[in-house]
Structure 1
Amino acid sequence: MDKNTIKSTLTEYLIPLNPKLMLEQIEQLDLDKYVKKLDSVTTAKLFVFAQLMQIQSYTDISLNVKQNGKLQETINLTTISTSQLSRKWREMDPAFLESVFRDFVQKLFQRLGMSKAAGKRFLRFRVS
């Protein structure tokens, strides 16, 4: 994926994320109480990007943020250290990530239909 398509591609993948649900969960789980820079929504966006680009280390994620203006614009973050990424990921409540994922999968099934969505290679698992 070249750098000219990162913003549009990432934006497409972020559209199904439900900011209202995410903010409700963040408040309910008290996730971002003292956060100034790397909040849970930004973290989720950043790790979606890292997954899409198959980035495997916090160092590489940090470098991508620092060097990629389109990514900075999309996630509204200009720099982030590897230690901040590591710390935030350790602090992320699995309940938050699960609720975001379940909402995403539900939207996917509604949009594509059960048989099409279930046939996609990235959804070859059972959602209980």
Structure 2
Amino acid sequence: MDNHTIKTVFKEYIHPLDSKVIQKMINYAQIDKYVKKLDVLTFVNAFIYARLKQLDNLERISDTIERKKKTVQRLVGKESISKSQLSRKNGDILPEIFQDILHHLIQKLHHILGSKMADKAIGELHLIDSSTILMCLSQYEWADFRDTKSGVKMHTSIGT
């Protein structure tokens, strides 16, 4: 995808996300209570962009945001985000907030399309999870994960 296409697709992904409603959810859950640099909405924008560009790790996401000053920084809303910030924020956000956002989007879809068409569209939804299972390095040398840890990555896809 070229930059113009990325901008257009990115805006289409962000458009249904009503930032005021999501901000109320975030405020209620007090996720960003003491946050100074990386808030949840910026985090979500960064990961939507990363998904579009097929950036496969936190370092590539961070580097891309840092390098592409005019395009990505405007889309994401930050000049730079370190991989450690992304990692910490990912650990801080409870999965329930994403469940609430999904529920909000499903309600919005039902309102726009009607129940029958919305149910048909949602019926084609696939949920994907990627979890890392950490293991002892001395017992599982074959499972290289980091210099000091072993681990395996488990990908799960659930179709409805």
Aligned partners of 1:109 and 1:117 also within 8 Å: no
Task: Point out the structure with the larger helix share.
Answer: 1
CA RMSD of aligned residues (A): 2.1
Please show how residues 83-122 of structure 1 align to structure 2 within 5 Å: 83-112=84-113, 113-114=117-118, 116-118=120-122, 120=124, 122=126
TM-score for the superposition, normalised by structure 1: 0.85
Kindly indicate whether the alpha-carbon contact (under 8 Å) linking 2:49 and 2:76 is maintained by their aligned counterparts in 1: no
**1:71 and 2:72 aligned:** yes
Please give the alpha-carbon distance, in whole angstroms, between the structure 2 residues aligned to 1:78 and 1:114: 37
Q: 1: distance between equivalents of 2:77 and 2:94?
A: 22
Q: Which runs of 5+ in 1 are unaligned?
A: none
- Deviation (angstroms), 1:38: 0.8
SS of 1:5 mapped into structure 2: helix
- When residues 78 and 106 of structure 1 are mapped into structure 2, their CA distance, relative to the original with a 3 A threshold, is same
For the pair shown, the structure with the greater C-alpha radius of gyration is: 2
* Structure of greater relative contact order (alpha carbons < 8 Å, 6+ residues apart): 1
**What's 2:55 paired with?**
55
Deviations 1:78-118 (A, max 9, x none): 11100000000000111111111222233334444235513
**What residue in structure 2 maps to residue 25 of structure 1?**
25
**Letter matched to residue 49 of structure 2:** F
1:36 aligns with 2:36: yes
Instruction: Output the CA distance in 2 between the equivalents of 1:55 and 1:108.
Output: 28
Aligned residues: 126
TM norm structure 2: 0.69
Contact preservation (8 Å) 2:125, 2:159 = no
